[in-house]
Every structure is written in C-alpha cells, then in structure tokens.
Structure 1
C-alpha cells in the first residue's frame, strides 16, 4: 500500500512540475544556457587597429519565426532550424567608429549621423550594398571571412537558443534590451529620441547587445513575406524578389507590442534610413576552436 501511495504522489508531483513549466513558459534550452561561457574573437586590421569584437555562437537547434497576430505580419510559420557549426557575430551593431574606418578609404561614402553623433553610436543610413561592402573590406583586411548573417543565424543567436518570444521569456520587460519611451523608466542613455550608444543595456546569454532595439539589422536573405519554404538550415533564402532584402530586430522607433525576436521586414537593397544598421558574421574554422 505504501509503495502505491508513493507512486501516486510522485505522479502528482511530476504533473505539477510539468504544469509549472508550461505556465511560466520555461523552455528546456533556457536551462542549458545558465552555464554558457561567452567567448570572444577580435581580429586586427592591416594597420594594426582592431576589427569589431565578435562573440562565438555555439551550434544547436533553435526556434525561428512567430505567430502572426496582426494582418500585415510575415513571421509565420514557426519552424526549427539546426545550426551545425559555430560562428561569430559582432557583439554589438556596427558603430560609426567601426564603419568610419572603412568609409574613409573612399570605397563607399560615409553616411550621415543625423547630428546624433558618431563614435559608439550604431551606424545608420546604411544600404544593404553598403553593409556587404563593409564585410568584404573586413575580409580583405583580416584574412578571415566576414559576411552578413542569414536570418536563421541572426534569430538563433538573438534568442540565445531559447524558444520564447524574448531571450529572457515571453513577457516584454522595459530596459532589458529595448526602451519604449512612452512607457517611461528607460535606463539612462536609452531614453533618447534617436538610437543610443551600443552596449548600454543588457547582453543576451550569448553575449549580444541590442537584438530587439536600437536599429533594424540587414541580413543576407532575399525577402519573402512568410516562412513557407524554409529548409531548417542556416542557409540564407535566395528566392523571391532579391531586390528586397530582409532586416531583423526592432529599432528605437518601435513601441510595444511590436518588439520581439521574430520581427522581420523587407527593404529595397538601396534603402537607407535612420533606423537601419547591421552587425556582421565571421566564419570560424574548426581548427580555431581546438584550443
């Protein structure tokens, strides 16, 4: 009789734990991230100056996309994608200081900062072609392959392997990775009527800043208005109208409830705006991870 009671109570406890996990939207990948150690790579340019600081993104399986809760959304269907190999993403969005190293060579014209300052401000008024040109220059300067991330590579890294709406959970929290000025209570420096300096809010568990804020970020993919024909890999989408490319993340212009990791939009490859920037991906050779 005692053993039957123990089994009965154990079953009840297991059910309650399962209910709690579902109720609080705790996803299994979140537990795995608690022991993740952020690792950095930073290359040198030919003149000895440093290239952007990069964080290594580990392989795994991640949730991509979201539910369409408004008629004009393009984030469904949700799917899982497998990241087989590590890669590195710039810790922050590319700054004016970093982009100015490139544009002062005369390869591309230097963009306007709208009077908001350069330095650690995220570079803005950047077309998709401008961003790609910067990655090609970085590749030549460092001897490593830099490029724009695919949408899957970007969103997997932004979510830090979780399946929740944000890397911290399913509920928006002011000031963690975004500032909605209408709500008030923004951390100092992020309560401006324009982009703020990179890296002043909290990083996600992979070490990335501003993945749902500051500026939209160009990715490699041609834009389509759904995820119907995804491959479940990290490959960029090359179908659809490739005169339009995809941007990911939210920007300083966007209020709640529009901010989340699955947000995506399409812009023409020549489009420039004070809310569009980018971050870069660096491919990693397996030999680099042996040490």
Structure 2
C-alpha cells in the first residue's frame, strides 16, 4: 500500500480536452463536469491492481468461487463466453498479472475477506479518490503530461498500440505511435509509476470504484444499477487512457478488461 497525501485537485474534463482527444460523442455523457476535489485526510492505495495471485489466495482461503463466464474480445467485438473466468482467460496470465473477469461484487467480497484477516479499513476507492490518486498531483490529462501525440504513452501505460494491433489487426483507434510490448494485460508494475508511487493507474485494466454512476457523480447510494470504472485497459485507445475518463457498467459484469485496486482508511 502507498500513502496518498491529503490535498485538492481539479478533476473532470473540459470541452477542449474532449474535442482534442477525439472522445466519441456517445462517450461524452460520462464526462463529469469539472470540479475541485478536496481530500481532507491521507489514505492508502494499493500500489498495483490486485493480482491474479492475490485473488487466488483469497479464493482458496475464503472458499468463495466466482461463477464462470466472462466478456471476451475476439478482435471484432466483446461477447460473453462461458468457458472463460478469472482463472482461465483467452490470453496467458501469471500470478503477477492483474486479475480480470471479476465483477464489482467479487471485488467487494475480496475487500470484506481482507478486512476479516487484518482488522479492517480496506475498501474500494471512490471516484474522486481514484482520480485524485491517478493524477498524482498533476493537472495534465495524464500523469506523464498532456502527451497529445501519445508518443510516450508506452513508457507509462498498457493500451491498444502496435503490440495490440499485431494480434488484432488494423484498428483505427489504436495508438500506432509506440509499442508497449503487450497485446493483452501486462504484469503489474511493468510501466513507470505516477508521482504518488502508484503503478497502472492508467491502462492495463479498468478498475472498479465504489460509486453509483446512474445519474449524478456525487451519488453515494449503495443500491444502484451501474458502478463506475476508471483507468482504461489494454484494449483501449488513448482517449480512454486519461485521468478524467469515466465509464460505467453493471456491477455483475465480468470482463477481460476489468480488474480492481483497493484503498485503506488511515
């Protein structure tokens, strides 16, 4: 775990950023209005997304076994296939890779188990906490700078690029300015961290957050139809790998581009 200091930052994306990044119109509805977030107390964040090895330990110790079925990308579209699960994906994963094919409820069960083992305090991040932590004190679109031509993204994040295109063919949305060496997930910590010492805050896997994202960004209700996802994944274009980018999905969704990380109240 890495301690994130208290402070404030402007989160969200303005119209200019959305236009310059080429964010699709139907995606802009997820762009929250820019506002200042004040984090009043230090909190801790896992340095990496939860790994396959860590999740495997949880399953063995708790006896909980997530059901099979996972949304898989076949090169043309994402679709559910029953044969895939957190322990068997369509691409190679080691215990140092981020666990995928876990839904929001699976992440919550992991947190509850961890609290029973350690005495408490662990949880998922809120959206505001996540973006504050992801920015690492930076006002830029990404913690390595605005990087509008995306030429240095491959030093910091695993996204859709040359490596991805070699496997999945020509993709006009992919970043063809560089190659990060991974067509799918990468081992955690393979890229440079942000200023807070956090790895893979952008790219590799989307990360579940605690918030309901049905209507307004401030909703903290526990029962809602959609949960937030942040960070972008190995299959995402550059516009989706930004600190301000937001997505949402059903909390029951298990996908090969979705994992999670945890926080701890200090």
Mark yes or no: TM-score above 0.5.
Answer: yes
Map 1:85-100 to 2 at 5 A.
Answer: 85-100=41-56
CA contact (8 A) 2:124 2:208 kept: yes
Residue of structure 2 in register with 1:271 after alignment: 253
Distance (whole Å) between structure 1 residues aligned to residue 142 and residue 127 of structure 2: 16
Secondary structure in 1 matching 2:236: coil
Gap change, CA 1:88 and 1:113, over 3 Å in 2: farther
Secondary structure in 2 matching 1:141: helix
- 1:145-189 residue CA offsets vs partner (Å, 9 max, x unmatched): 1110000011100001222111122124222322442325334xx
The structure with higher relative contact order (CA 8 Å, sep 6+) is 2
Deviation at 1:277, TM superposition (A): 0.1
Distance (whole Å) between structure 1 residues aligned to residue 108 and residue 117 of structure 2: 14
Residue of structure 2 in register with 1:126 after alignment: 102
Residue of structure 1 in register with 2:65 after alignment: 108
CA contact (8 A) 1:215 1:277 kept: yes
Distance (whole Å) between structure 2 residues aligned to residue 55 and residue 79 of structure 1: 25
Correspondent of 1:185 among 173, 178, 183: 178
Residue of structure 2 in register with 1:5 after alignment: none
Aligned residues: 220
Residue of structure 1 in register with 2:119 after alignment: 143
Gap change, CA 1:246 and 1:82, over 3 Å in 2: same
Residue of structure 2 in register with 1:66 after alignment: 13
Deviating 4+ runs (over 4 angstroms): none
Residue of structure 2 in register with 1:210 after alignment: 200
- 1:184-220 residue CA offsets vs partner (Å, 9 max, x unmatched): 5334xxx222111010100001000111100000000
Secondary structure in 1 matching 2:154: coil
TM-score by length of 1: 0.71
**1:223 and 2:223 correspond:** no
Secondary structure in 1 matching 2:58: helix
Distance (whole Å) between structure 2 residues aligned to residue 77 and residue 240 of structure 1: 22
